[in-house]
């Protein structure tokens, strides 16, 4: 294999980075993961993940972690209701969805990001992950790179793999292609102790997730953490709205006032979210890499996940695509069919960009559908509910 006797450095201990580390270790490659979090107990942010059969599930199978995954699944969290802006249930699969349909192609079981991280960490060799390693820069040395971290440490690697997310500090070493604003912005709202804080919304979810559509806007949400809920109010402002709106996102009354105005006509039940949200709420402009992006392969550095192809979340492909990137990259790096490392990287990058472009196109199209006139009817059709 082309990484035999080479030191591989993965920057970032997210789903993609840890999947790659596990798969490389199975093939006895020498790999180290550098992660900016202080330690393994740092809280992992973000919504729960649903594993897709052809991507996330495929990676978990090759990593021999299916049983551990099943033991940490959020039972019932993949069930959903679709409602209108008045919070009237138009569709629910709570009575019809298979319970615990793990391994079934139609099932997309959900897991907390923190739980998934713990599964991978427990499966890796001791000291694989070097914590408190915030990547700052790197410079060419010999045939590889000398990496420098914020804590003052440095390390050498023959091959560097960027799994450090949408704001990757390694991507500029590979390409100067920038992401573009997708046209969508989400305001992230988190609620703790939701059964008490937001009883009406909590009851509406019934342990699953919710999709609400109306007036060209939507609210998406579901279970998040122990007793918590996570929601995203998604709409289509200009790219600079988050900085130019004048809103203090730490001010509950200002945020609630914004919601009442922006989501005019929506039922007051939704106010419950903003009246009880953990402050600050977080505005998130949504970006996407150009679908036709390409770059010249480098012999000792490559990208996976959001570092390579950040995309809108409207197809649920982010973490799944990242994990499948790891699966394909590990196959290329440990295969005997390539004569050189650059050849293996180039083959991976061509396939990765093609897959990512298709997923991003689908996500952009879904985003437009979800924010369009008649979004409710269109989304019901997507889920076969109409």
Dist CA 50 CA 306 (whole Å): 17
Pairing of β 159-162 and β 7-11: parallel
Taking alpha carbons only, the member of 255, 257, 214 closest to residue 376 is 214
78 is in an annotated binding site: no
- 263 — phi, psi (to 5°)? -105, 40
Inter-residue contact 360 to 309 (CB < 8 Å):
yes
The Cα angle at residue 158 between residues 308 and 325, in degrees rounded to 5? 30
Q: How many residues does the chain have?
A: 386
Tokens of 271: 């106010």
Greatest CA span in the chain, whole angstroms?
64
Dist CA 21 CA 29 (whole Å): 9
Taking alpha carbons only, the member of 224, 218, 183 closest to residue 202 is 224
Taking alpha carbons only, the member of 153, 119, 115, 116 closest to residue 137 is 153
Tokens of 332: 């290329």
> How far are the Cα atoms of 95, 124, 219, 266 from residue 81, in angstroms, in the given order?
11, 38, 12, 17
Query: Burial of 175 by CB count in 10 Å (0-12 exposed, 13-18 middle, 19+ buried)?
Result: middle
Inter-residue contact 18 to 161 (CB < 8 Å):
no
Inter-residue contact 268 to 256 (CB < 8 Å):
no
List 154's β-bridge partners, or say none. 148
50 is in an annotated binding site: yes
369 is in an annotated binding site: no
306 is in an annotated binding site: yes
DSSP 8-state class, residue 87: -
First and final C-alpha spacing in the chain: 51
- Please identify which residue in the block is written with the tokens 């997730």: 209
Query: Burial of 226 by CB count in 10 Å (0-12 exposed, 13-18 middle, 19+ buried)?
Result: exposed
**Which residues sit in the known binding site for FAD?**
50, 113, 306
Feature table: binding site for NADPH: 43
- Binding site: what residues are annotated? 43, 50, 113, 306
């Amino acid at each position: 294999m082309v990484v035999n006797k080479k030191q591989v450095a993965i920057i970032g201990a997210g789903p993609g980075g840890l999947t790659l580390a596990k798969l490389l270790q199975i093939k006895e490659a020498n790999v180290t993961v550098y992660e900016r979090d202080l330690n393994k107990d740092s809280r992992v942010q973000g919504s729960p993940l649903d594993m897709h059969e052809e991507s996330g599930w495929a990676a978990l199978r090759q990593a021999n972690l299916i049983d551990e995954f099943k033991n940490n699944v959020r039972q019932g969290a993949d069930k959903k209701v679709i409602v209108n802006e008045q919070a009237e249930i138009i569709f629910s699969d709570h009575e019809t969805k298979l319970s615990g349909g793990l391994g079934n192609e139609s099932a997309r079981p959900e897991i907390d990001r923190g739980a998934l991280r713990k599964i991978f960490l427990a499966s890796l060799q001791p000291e694989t992950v070097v914590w408190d390693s915030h990547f700052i820069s790197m410079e060419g040395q010999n045939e590889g790179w000398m990496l420098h971290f914020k804590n003052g440490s440095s390390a050498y690697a023959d091959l560097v793999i960027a799994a450090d997310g949408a704001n990757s500090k390694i991507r500029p070493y590979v390409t100067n292609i920038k992401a573009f604003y997708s046209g969508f912005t989400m305001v992230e709202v988190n609620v703790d102790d939701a059964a008490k804080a937001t009883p009406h919304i909590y009851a509406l979810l019934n342990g699953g997730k919710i999709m609400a559509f109306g007036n060209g806007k939507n609210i998406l949400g579901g279970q998040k953490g122990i007793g918590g809920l996570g929601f995203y109010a998604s709409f289509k402002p200009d790219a600079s709205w988050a900085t130019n709106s004048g809103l203090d996102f730490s001010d509950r009354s200002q945020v609630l006032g914004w919601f009442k105005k922006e989501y005019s006509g929506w039922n007051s039940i939704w106010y419950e979210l903003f009246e009880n949200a953990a402050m600050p709420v977080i505005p998130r402009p949504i970006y996407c890499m150009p679908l036709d992006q390409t770059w010249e392969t480098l012999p000792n550095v490559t990208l996976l996940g959001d570092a390579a192809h950040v995309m809108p979340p409207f197809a649920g492909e982010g973490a799944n695509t990242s994990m499948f990137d790891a699966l394909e990259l590990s196959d290329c790096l440990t295969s005997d069919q390539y004569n050189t490392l650059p050849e293996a990287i180039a083959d991976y990058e061509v396939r990765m960009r093609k897959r990512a472009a298709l997923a991003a196109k689908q996500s952009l199209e879904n985003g437009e559908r979800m924010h369009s006139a008649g979004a409710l009817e269109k989304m019901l059709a997507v889920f076969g509910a109409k």
